[in-house]
Amino acid sequence: MNTKSKTIFALLVLALLTSACKADISRNDNGSFTVETTISQQELQEVISASIADPLVTNVTASLQSGYVFVTGDRQRLNDASKTDTLSFRLDLSVSNGQLAASVTDAQIDGVPIDQDRVDNWNQTIANRISNFGGRNENATLQSVNVTPEMVSMTWNVTR
């Protein structure tokens, strides 16, 4: 590897390190790197709230469970700002073709299902924003994602 390639690769690894709250990096025998990143409940909550992108939705809470995230929030009514309804959904995170996939299911507001187009948008936006914690670039392949009651952890393989 020439000096320019080494510099670019070092910058890539540095970007991965600084893009997540916590990252552990180890070098593999083949010259690639394994990068393990973690996202706290608070960080995930902020990502989900920003992904929903609805000014009427407040008090978003992401409750980390074993294997999934349960999300709740309050949604102000358009016709009466003094009243709120409860927003809730289940969020599952997985790996699809080396990328993070988000799957929102059972999305509802006070028991009424939320429009599927909106849910599909949330799936993509949540996956994109969470991936930014782990190194969204063409040289990073997601190997695994794990949701525990304490955190979300992702393991990436980064090649030159």
State residue 132's pLDDT score. Answer: 78
State residue 1's pLDDT score. Answer: 53
State residue 33's pLDDT score. Answer: 84
Domain extents in the chain: 3-158
Measured in whole angstroms, the distance separating CA 78 from the mean position of its chain's CA atoms is 29
**Helix axes of 3-19 and 116-134: crossing angle, nearest 10 degrees:** 120
State residue 133's pLDDT score. Answer: 62
Dist. CA 160–CA 83, nearest whole Å: 54
Measured in whole angstroms, the distance separating CA 141 from the mean position of its chain's CA atoms is 15
One pLDDT digit (tens) per residue for the chain, 160 residues: 555 444 444 444 445 444 445 667 777 888 888 888 889 999 999 999 999 999 999 999 999 999 999 999 999 998 888 999 999 999 999 999 989 999 999 999 999 999 999 999 999 999 999 887 655 567 788 999 999 999 999 998 888 7
Q: Which pair of structure tokens corresponds to residue 1?
A: 């590897």
End-to-end CA distance of the chain: 9
CA Rg, the chain, in Å? 18
For residue 136, how many other CB atoms are within 10 A of its CB?
Answer: 18
The pTM of this model reads 0.82
State residue 17's pLDDT score. Answer: 43
